[in-house]
Amino acid sequence: MKEFTPESFRLDGKIALVTGASYGIGFAIASGFAKSGATIVFNDINQELVDKGLKAYEEAGIQAHGYVCDVTDENAVQELVKKIEEEVGVIDILVNNAGIIKRIPMIEMSADDFRKVVDIDLNGPFIVSKAVIPSMIKKGHGKIINICSMMSELGRETVSAYAAAKGGLKMLTRNIASEYGEYNIQCNGIGPGYIETPQTAPLRTEGHPFNSFIISKTPAARWGTTEDLMGPAVFLASDASNFVNGHILYVDGGILAYIGKQPQ
């Protein structure tokens, strides 16, 4: 067992694969890893997004390695991991960040749309984790972080597929921890609250009912920022969390702990 020092939070010499990290939450987490010393590898679904990501990392002063890969294609993922090992090195840290949401009332949602959300948000993390675990076992350590959601715990209108997938991802997280913890592999999740991203910008305008709703439901009385996710992600990727396994860390400003204000 390593003695704890402040350096336990560092990621120097580690190779981190963050899926779907051309922008948004994945980009922020990867940037936090880079600031802590990790080498960054990311993928996205097409070359245009990969190029966009590479430019953003370059502008941030980060040397990143970008690859095109669909996380739902098992053969392609196996080839991706093999290529990363040959060109960069064995993956020490995996963040399963790639995901989608379709906001459609359940009775109006097609089974195909439901399957697509589950395929990317749940089957994808299974496929990528399965691809990296064997080398982690050989190396004697590994960190897997699944980007879960408050919808891993709560339901809400129009997100039946997303909530089902994220609930499943919570349990996949716990099962990976259960199955591979003996190999010094820790698998945990991060459940972001409502975060300021380009996708949520239309909802965050002053006077928008949803903006007021989120602020009133959050003890921190604000939306989260992508920077709020960096510290928790670095902790779960570092040696400082070596005895934390199968845990979902909700970074939500306290929403899940709060029943809400009494109506006036």
Q: Checking DSSP bridges between strand 185-192 and strand 248-251, what pairing results, if any? A: parallel
Record the tokens describing residue 210, joined without a space.
């949803």
Q: 52 to each of 19, 21, 31, 43, 236, how far by Cα in Å? A: 14, 10, 15, 11, 27
The pair of structure tokens assigned to 176 is 């990976």
Per DSSP, what are the bridge partners of residue 172?
none
Set 57, 162, 194, 250: catalytic member:
162
Distance CA 245, CA 35 (A): 24
Ordered strands of the 93-96 beta sheet: 64-68, 39-44, 15-19, 93-96, 142-147, 185-192, 248-251
Q: How far apart are CA 246 and CA 89, in angstroms?
A: 26
8: helix, coil or strand?
Answer: helix
Within 8 A by CB and 6+ apart from 37, the residues are 10, 11, 12, 13, 14
Q: What is the dihedral of CA 57, 63, 69, 75, to 10 degrees?
A: -160
> Is residue 250 among the annotated active site residues?
no
In DSSP notation, 109-173 reads S-HHHHHHHHIIIIIHHHHHHHHHHHHHHHHT-EEEEEE--GGGT---TT-HHHHHHHHHHHHHH
Positions annotated as catalytic residues are: 162
